[in-house]
Amino acid sequence: MEGAADGLRQFHERPLPREGPPLGFVRQIYQVITETPQHTYQLLTKRALRLRRVVGELDWPPNLWMGVSVESAEHPDRVDDLRQVLAAVRFLSCAPLLGPLYPPGPRPAWSGAVHGVEEHAAGP
């Protein structure tokens, strides 16, 4: 876990199983988030459809930021699913960003986006 003076904490853990954790386990995680308002939590998923399915079954604490991974405009469904989330902050993780996120036209408003650079080992 990495600490910061502003209360934002970052914790890296192995990804959960592809089918995702049981809803009861997710509720336990949300309970911990609710009980520790001095911290800000960022949750990130590629399983935006599952997120959309459980959105009404979870209480969204104000110290929870929710994000989805989106590599290009080929995944507008993930962006649409995130729009249904009641999190205080919604963000996109665009790493690696493989192309434009939106077709030409009006852009939706977001709290923020995270992007990065993929590191590749040099070949022989």
Residue 85, helix vs strand vs coil: coil
Question: CA 117 → CA 34, 50, 94, 97, distances in Å?
Answer: 33, 27, 10, 8
Question: CA 32 → CA 61, 67, 88, 104, 114, distances in Å?
Answer: 10, 18, 17, 41, 25
Look at residue 14 in the predicted model and tell me its pLDDT. 53
Tokens 């110290």 appear where?
63
Q: Digits of tens for pLDDT over the chain (124 positions)?
A: 444 445 544 444 555 555 677 888 889 999 999 999 999 998 888 888 888 888 889 888 999 999 998 888 888 888 888 888 888 888 888 877 777 776 666 666 666 666 654 544 444 4
Instruction: For residues 78 and 50, give the distance between their C-alpha atoms in angstroms, rounded to a whole number.
Output: 10
Taking the CB of residue 101, how many other CB atoms lie within 10 A of it?
21
Strands 112-115 and 89-94: parallel
pTM above 0.75, yes or no: no
